[in-house]
Amino acid sequence: MGSSGSVLGDQMSSIKQHAATRVARAVRAQDQSQVFEARQELATANIEAAIERALAAAPPLTPSQVKRLTGLLKGGQR
């Protein structure tokens, strides 16, 4: 299976691979707007995978912890 040994891990792996392929194609095509968008997609996939791994390894979060982490994702309070 994928990096986390689950179907979700396989899906994340596939999403990350697709995003990396998009970056490579955009770079080869020298399309800067597509490079930017593809790199955003790849960064998002990497962040999503990291969050999934952390949540899988952690005990359940309290509502306060969820709120704090949501603030990070929204770019607000830390």
**Domain contains 68:** yes
**Domain contains 16:** yes
Low-confidence stretches of the chain (pLDDT beneath 50): 1-4, 77-78
For residue 4, give the nearest of 62, 37, 45, 52 by alpha carbon. 52
**Domain contains 23:** yes
**Domain contains 66:** yes
**Domain contains 58:** yes
- Alpha-carbon span 71 to 78, nearest angstrom: 6
**Domain contains 2:** no
Q: What is the pLDDT of residue 13?
A: 81
- The domain total for the chain is 1
Q: What is the pLDDT of residue 11?
A: 75
Neighbouring C-beta atoms of residue 29, cutoff 10 Å: 10
**Domain contains 63:** yes
Q: What is the pLDDT of residue 24?
A: 93
**Domain contains 1:** no
Domain span holding position 54: 7-74
